[in-house]
Amino acid sequence: MTGKEGIRIRPMTLEDLPGVLTVEEACFSEPWSEPVYRATLLLDYTAYFVAELTEEALSPLFEKAGLGGSRIVGTIGLKDIAGEGEVTNVAVLPSWRGQGIGGRLLERLLAEGEKSGIEAFTLEVRAGNVPAIRLYEAFGFALEGRRPGFYEKPKEDALIYWRRL
């Protein structure tokens, strides 16, 4: 799936890990490590996707975006836990936010999850992450709980959202 901005959403591979780790480090105060990603990608109940710059988008944008050689600008993951989908690792490089990439990643993930029979999806989000909360609510997620002090660096509550078909 390629968009007008020169972004393709596709399944993540082990070869994507250097770019994925760049996104993780830019977006999370406690990013996943390469060994954690490697182990997770090998599980048969997970599906991870990347937002990747296409060839036509690379030449004018590569240097400007400061990607350091990576084509990966966003990530998202899904774990199928007993028929319920846990959405994880939703991230878009700060310089690429506000362009609909997070929405395209979420749309692809939900479609793939539904194809595999998942009818309920859950995720956790920092209470102060208003742009992400707006995105999730636009996709039909509803607030159903809170985990006080769940996140570290900085300490913050996690909001628990669900989307049920």
Is 21 a member of any domain? Answer: yes
Domain membership of residue 11 (yes or no) is yes
pLDDT at 161 over 90: yes
**Is 2 a domain residue?**
no
Q: What is the pTM (predicted TM-score) of this model?
A: 0.88
Task: Give 2's pLDDT tier (boundaries 50, 70, 90).
Answer: very low
Q: How many CB atoms lie within 10 A of CB 51?
A: 29
**Is 61 domain-assigned?**
yes
Strand, helix or coil for residue 130: helix
The answer as to whether 49 is a domain residue is yes
- Cα dihedral 161, 87, 104, 156 sign: positive
> Residue 14 is part of a domain; what is its CATH number?
3.40.630.30
Domain housing 60: 7-164
Residue 12 covered by a domain: yes
- Residues 26-39 have pLDDT tens digits of 999 999 999 999 99
Q: 67 in helix, strand or coil?
A: coil
The pLDDT tens digits of the residues spanning 37-87 come to 999 999 999 999 999 998 666 555 555 555 445 589 999 999 999 999 999
Residue 1 in any domain: the answer is no
| Amino acid, single-letter form, for residue 89 | N
What is the distance between the alpha carbons of residues 140 and 9, in angstroms, rounded to a whole number?
21
- Two structure tokens written together for 49: 């996707």
Name the H helices within 66-151.
101-115, 130-138
Euclidean distance between CA atoms 21 and 161, whole angstroms: 25
How many domains does the chain divide into?
1
Owner of token pair 């250097």:
18
For residue 139, the 8-state DSSP code is T
Residue 118 in any domain: the answer is yes
Q: How many residues belong to the chain?
A: 165
Given pLDDT bands bounded at 50, 70 and 90, which one contains residue 165? confident
CA distances to 38, 85, 159 from 61, rounded to whole Å, are 29, 34, 35
